[in-house]
Amino acid sequence: MTDPSASQEHGPDSREVVRNWAITGIFWILVLGALSLAQGVFVPIISAFVLALTFSPVRRVLEGFGIPSSAAAGMIMISLLIVFCVLFYFISEALQEYLIDAPTFAEEVRRELSGLFGTIEPVLKAGDQIDALTNQNKQQTVALREPGFVSVMTQATPAVVSQLVVTLTLSFFLMASGDMFYEKLVQVMPKLKDKRRALAAARTIENQLSTYLFTISAINATLGVIIGLVMWLAGMPNPLLFGLGAFLLNYIPYIGSIGGISITLVTGLVTFDSTIQAILPALLYWIINTIEGQFLTPVLVGRRLKLNAVVVFISFALWAWVWSFMGMLLSTPILLMAKVVSDNVNGLESFGKFLGDRDDLSGSDSRLLKFVFRQKDRSAAEEA
């Protein structure tokens, strides 16, 4: 007979471990479901906190000149509104021409792509003829046209504007309150050690977020200017739109650069008759973006933001699935905040180590890895 008390001393039952993992998995599934369903609430709140943390150092600099917190927050928000309005004006002016000529542009794109893939055109036509013959005797159905781009944008504009208003308003109140958040954080922590750790984590999040976003914005602005000039020299239509597009798309990890190159390639194919001249702008875009992504950004940002590249991509895919476009923009700031919190909370240090970039191994860990790989290589050699 086995003693139940003896088994409990050796550790938890395997069924208990499975049960705990199942409960944890269900909890995180429910959290992701709630975040996805209530994105109209969570996205403006998190965006407002990111903006407030980013511009808090600017607010403190203004306060150093004797400007009150509310006035400093107002100056920052007015500056942001001016920037948003200027960007919206230039983008709307540039897009207006493309929206007017959208049907003609789409037909030209279809014709150019069909010319590139002309070898499969007979196969496609044969498939269409077979479908037509098959569906001759079928009952006729009424097809409902899906809403076009303009109608979709018209329907989405009120929601976007309302979320933007909530984000900017909440950001203003957070910055106008000064350092009240830090004061409340100190008051709710029970021990002096916890107070210091919480303050250190909050200040680290603020410093890293502001440094990261300001640096990325400067890099993206430089990239946009260079792309606009290169598109102008290459003879592309409306190079200003390409420069603004490169500036905005580069905030989206991975997908932004691919989208910019693809749009440039399609526009070049429609604009120019020569294949080399049509592909050249997209090639130049790719070269400039590669130099920025592989050399400039790692040097300026990588030393401050040490995150696991695989985890960055997983975070991007996860938040893009949960919050679509805004999730793409917020994925890296959210991951950065999670890394700092994990590094400063007891029990989460291992998770923070996993989120970080590669570190130097200790002597024992290095010897263990060498021993394991040596054993695997020896077993593979014996099997061969």
Which residues partner with 356 through β-bridges? 307
Mean pLDDT is lowest, of 22-36, 137-151, 333-347, for 137-151
Long-range pairs for 37-40 at CB < 8 Å and ≥24 separation? 39/322, 39/323, 39/326, 40/159, 40/163
Q: Are residues 66 and 170 in the same domain?
A: yes
Q: Which amino acid is at 311?
A: V
pTM higher than 0.75 for the full model? Answer: no
pLDDT reported for residue 228: 92
Total number of domains constituting the chain = 3
pLDDT reported for residue 146: 46
The Cα 215–Cα 336 span in angstroms is 15
The Cα 208–Cα 344 span in angstroms is 14
Q: 223 pLDDT band (50/70/90 cuts)?
A: very high
Residue 149 in domain:
no
pLDDT reported for residue 233: 92
What average pLDDT does range 35-44 have in this prediction?
85
Q: Rg of the chain's alpha carbons, rounded to an integer?
A: 27
Residue 123 in domain:
no
For the ranges 84-93, 105-114, 209-218, the one whose mean pLDDT is highest: 209-218
Q: Are residues 54 and 169 in the same domain?
A: yes
Q: 120 pLDDT band (50/70/90 cuts)?
A: very low
Neighbours of 209 (CB within 10 A): 25
Instruction: Pick the closest to residue 170 from 48, 80, 72 (CA basis).
Output: 48
Q: Concatenated DSSP letters for 20-34?
A: HHHHHHHHHHHHHHH
The Cα 31–Cα 40 span in angstroms is 15
SS3 call for 307 = strand
Q: Are residues 287 and 268 in the same domain?
A: yes
For the ranges 64-73, 201-210, 302-311, 364-373, the one whose mean pLDDT is highest: 64-73
What average pLDDT does range 267-280 have in this prediction?
84
Q: What backbone torsions phi and psi does residue 308 show, to the nearest 5 degrees?
A: -70, 125
| pLDDT reading at 369 higher than 60 | yes
Q: Percentage of the chain with pLDDT > 70?
A: 70
Q: Are residues 262 and 356 in the same domain?
A: no
| pLDDT reading at 158 higher than 60 | yes
Q: 135 pLDDT band (50/70/90 cuts)?
A: low
Mean pLDDT is lowest, of 75-89, 119-133, 183-197, for 119-133
For the ranges 250-254, 343-347, 371-375, the one whose mean pLDDT is highest: 250-254
Please enumerate in sequence order all residues whose Cβ is within 8 A of that of 210, keeping only pairs 6 or more positions apart, or say none: 53, 54, 55, 56, 57, 58
What average pLDDT does range 327-348 have in this prediction?
81
Cα angle value 33/209/330 (rounded, 5°): 30
Q: Which two tokens stand for residue 217?
A: 């914005």
Q: Are residues 75 and 215 in the same domain?
A: no
Residue 84: which domain range?
Answer: 17-114+162-178
Q: Are residues 335 and 266 in the same domain?
A: no
Residue 369 in domain:
no
Residue 92 in domain:
yes
| pLDDT reading at 20 higher than 80 | yes
What average pLDDT does range 360-382 have in this prediction?
64
Q: Are residues 206 and 264 in the same domain?
A: yes
Residue 73 in domain:
yes
Q: 102 pLDDT band (50/70/90 cuts)?
A: low
pLDDT reported for residue 119: 45
Residue 7 in domain:
no
Q: 224 pLDDT band (50/70/90 cuts)?
A: very high
pLDDT reported for residue 12: 56
Q: 32 pLDDT band (50/70/90 cuts)?
A: confident
pLDDT reported for residue 142: 47
What average pLDDT does range 193-215 have in this prediction?
83
User: What is residue 142's DSSP assignment?
Assistant: P
pLDDT reported for residue 143: 46
The Cα 170–Cα 68 span in angstroms is 18
Q: Are residues 222 and 297 in the same domain?
A: yes
Last residue within a domain, chosen from 154, 178, 202: 178
| Alpha carbon separation from 34 to 29, 148, 334 (Å, rounded) | 9, 30, 17
pLDDT reported for residue 371: 67
Residue 55 in domain:
yes
CB 260 within 8 A of CB 268: no
Q: Are residues 33 and 94 in the same domain?
A: yes
pLDDT reported for residue 1: 47
Instruction: Pick the closest to residue 339 from 323, 357, 326 (CA basis).
Output: 357
Q: Percentage of the chain with pLDDT > 90?
A: 7
Q: Are residues 240 and 108 in the same domain?
A: no
What average pLDDT does range 202-223 have in this prediction?
86
User: What is residue 356's DSSP assignment?
Assistant: B
Q: Are residues 172 and 49 in the same domain?
A: yes
CB 124 within 8 A of CB 268: no
Residue 368 in domain:
no
Instruction: Report the mean per-residue pLDDT for the chain.
Output: 76
Mean pLDDT is lowest, of 69-73, 139-143, 196-200, 247-251, for 139-143
Q: Are residues 88 and 168 in the same domain?
A: yes
pLDDT tens-digit profile of 54-101? 898 888 889 888 899 889 999 999 998 898 888 888 777 666 666 665
